[in-house]
């Protein structure tokens, strides 16, 4: 079965001037169509290659994957609601992209 997998590396933050160490921030957006047991849209956010945020089209919730991310609501109470809205909006955007690709490549299945 052919499948469309879409990967977009949204951003990598380079060296931080205040620290000798280099850290990274990466977000992976994955959109797919018709892949068994795999959500149509997944967002994974990583700091230094450790997953700290996760969203998928099954749960439709942006959720913390690390304690220190859970605590962000101490400072920004509606952080997860905001992240969820952004992810939902991107999910729609990527769904349209997948449909467009399917049309352009005459892909009738997933």
Ligand X SMILES: *[C@@H]1O[C@H](CO)[C@@H](O)[C@H](O)[C@H]1NC(C)=O
Q: Is 37 in the site for ligand X (CB under 6 A)?
A: no
Residues 80-87: contacts with CB under 8 Å, at least 24 apart:
83/53, 83/55, 84/55, 84/60, 86/62, 87/41, 87/43, 87/55, 87/62
Which C-beta is closer to ligand X: that of 18 or that of 108? Answer: 108
Which range touches ligand X (CB under 6 A), out of 18-26, 43-51, 64-72, 84-92? Answer: 64-72
Binder of ligand X out of 93, 100, 105, 109 (CB under 6 A): 105
Nearest to 55 by CA among 8, 91, 94, 99: 91
Residue 108 CB neighbour total at 10 angstroms: 8
Query: Is residue 68 within the footprint of ligand X (CB under 6 A)?
Result: yes
Q: How far is the CB of 106 from ligand X (least distance, A)?
A: 4
Which element (helix H / strand E) includes 103? helix 79-104
> Of the candidates 24, 58, 71, 85, which one interacts with ligand X according to CB under 6 A?
71
Q: In the bound complex, what is the minimum distance in angstroms from residue 15's beta carbon to ligand X?
A: 24
Binding site for ligand X (CB under 6 A): 67-68, 71, 105-106
């Amino acid at each position: 079965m052919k499948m469309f997998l879409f990967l977009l590396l949204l951003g990598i933050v380079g060296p931080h001037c205040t620290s000798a160490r280099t850290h990274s921030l990466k977000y992976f957006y994955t959109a797919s169509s018709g892949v068994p047991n795999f959500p149509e849209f997944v967002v994974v956010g990583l700091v230094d290659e450790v997953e700290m945020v996760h969203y998928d089209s099954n749960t439709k919730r942006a959720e913390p994957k690390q304690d220190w991310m859970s605590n962000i609501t101490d400072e920004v109470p509606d952080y997860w609601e905001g992240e969820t809205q952004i992810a939902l909006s991107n999910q729609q955007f990527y769904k349209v992209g997948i449909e467009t690709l399917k049309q352009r490549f005459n892909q009738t299945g997933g």
